[in-house]
Amino acid sequence: MQSSEIYLESLITATPQEGRDLAIKLSRKSIAAIQTNPDVRKKLRADYAEDTAQLIASAQVIALEFQTIARANNYWKP
Amino acid sequence: MQSSEIYLESLITATPQEGRDLAIKLSRKSIAAIQTNPDVRKKLRADYAEDTAQLIASAQVIALEFQTIARANNYWKP
Amino acid sequence: MQSSEIYLESLITATPQEGRDLAIKLSRKSIAAIQTNPDVRKKLRADYAEDTAQLIASAQVIALEFQTIARANNYWKP
Amino acid sequence: MQSSEIYLESLITATPQEGRDLAIKLSRKSIAAIQTNPDVRKKLRADYAEDTAQLIASAQVIALEFQTIARANNYWKP
Amino acid sequence: MQSSEIYLESLITATPQEGRDLAIKLSRKSIAAIQTNPDVRKKLRADYAEDTAQLIASAQVIALEFQTIARANNYWKP
Amino acid sequence: MQSSEIYLESLITATPQEGRDLAIKLSRKSIAAIQTNPDVRKKLRADYAEDTAQLIASAQVIALEFQTIARANNYWKP
């Protein structure tokens, strides 16, 4: 399953905040890799945007992706 | 999805307790990144604040974020 | 969300058993950080204390927190 | 359970994007290792492709596999 | 919550198999730390012993605990 | 709970593919350590083999076990 779209050039970000943003982006791209139809994804948003259990589960994905990104950036230590 | 708000300047905290607080903050910011409407988030609190399964799942997110923060701070070893 | 209570002074414990106890304590403090009302938490105990799915999910949180604590203590190697 | 098919020759990839693709592939191969019938898997797709809770859980698997791959590739640092 | 029982003296085991056994033991001790009544725990066994979702979730706990133990033992490398 | 059966002699495998197979084997052995009756396990297969949520949860266990194995093998780097 070769993704046609190149959405990840590097794990290195300038700041921790950009690392968070990248973690959120990677989480979303995983969903898009499984459900490739953007219209379906848009329709599905209502299913989780107000479902706290799914919002919490999404936060787990972001925390896991951020672990990887933070480590790649040596925790943005000076 | 570039977050307009800069909520994470650094992973470095003075104490382990501040590391816990940051982990809780990052967990919440992940939810806010997905459900951006603060009024909706406020309304949703009742859905999880007394749901032990969701409280436990939230504790998993905090544990994962804290893993990253603790590591960034070299476990606050002197 | 600055926690008023300082419950984590250090991740360093004298023994692995104390590390387990600390992991259990941190897991509980995460729940308390989200559901701050002790009376509500007490009432909610019945919801998970005999629910094996939630007991297992709680064990996951303890395992994650223990990973962090064990690492902070270099696995209590002599 | 020796897999007849060799689908993983190496964890090393040329780019982070290929690392993501490999993480997605490994996640799928795990499902195939448990449910070995491709026709059943095809039929089951409808059960999760529009179920946001399962899409999010799948994103957790990808995040875990990507952690391993990113580390194997030293985060594709030059 | 100081556990009265000392069930973890060391993370070091002679073999990987003993590491697995210790991971399973720690997973169970976590459940016992939350549901302290052995009779209740015995009664609850029927709730998960034939529930595959809970058996899988238990395997996740064992995998997390084993990660910690394996690392403590430097993967039992000679 | 000392397992009578020695199923894990070493975490070291010759190839990444063997590492995947070992991760799948360890995941299954965890289930068997909790539900020790092989006939019951056989009967239960129908409960998860076509349940995508449980197939995904199983893939999470495999991903966690593979993390440990990959690290033990230094990611099979030459």
Task: Name all chains with 3 or more CB-CB pairs below 8 Å to chain F.
Answer: D, E
Please tell me whether residue C45 adopts helix, strand or coil conformation. helix
DSSP character at residue C76: G
Check residues E4 and E15 and name the one with the higher pLDDT.
Answer: E15
CA torsion sign for E46, E50, E52, E56 is: positive
| Cβ atoms D59, A30 nearer than 8 A | yes
E16-53 pLDDT, tens digit each: 999 999 999 999 999 999 999 999 999 999 989 999 99
Give the mean pLDDT of chain A. Answer: 94
Helix ranges (DSSP H) in D1-78: 16-34, 38-48, 52-72
Give the model's pLDDT for residue F15. 97
Q: Which of B2, C51, B49, D72 is nearest to A14 (CA)?
A: B2
ipTM: 0.96
Nearest to F8 among E16, E55, E60 (CB): E16
Angle at CA D51, nearest 5°, toward D20 and A32?
30
CA F71 from centre of chain: 16
Contact D57 F62 (CB under 8 A): no
Q: Which of A71, D69, A30, D9 is nearest to F15 (CA)?
A: D9
CA distance F6 to B53: 35
F30 interfacial to chain D (CB closer than 8 Å): no
CA distance C15 to C7: 19
Give the model's pLDDT for residue F21. 97
CA distance A70 to A11: 9
Please tell me whether residue A7 adopts helix, strand or coil conformation. coil
| Cβ atoms E28, F1 nearer than 8 A | yes
Helix, strand, coil % over all residues of chain C, rounded to 5: 70, 0, 30
C41 interfacial to chain E (CB closer than 8 Å): no
| Contact flag for E and C (3+ C-beta pairs < 8 Å) | yes
Cβ neighbour number for residue E6 with a 10 Å cutoff: 11
What is the average pLDDT across E65-76?
A: 98
| Contact flag for E and A (3+ C-beta pairs < 8 Å) | no
Contact A20 B10 (CB under 8 A): no
Radius of gyration of chain B measured on its C-alpha atoms: 14
Nearest to B72 among A28, A60, A70 (CB): A70
C33-73 pLDDT, tens digit each: 999 999 999 999 998 999 999 999 999 999 999 999 999 99
CA torsion sign for E60, A44, A50, D62 is: positive
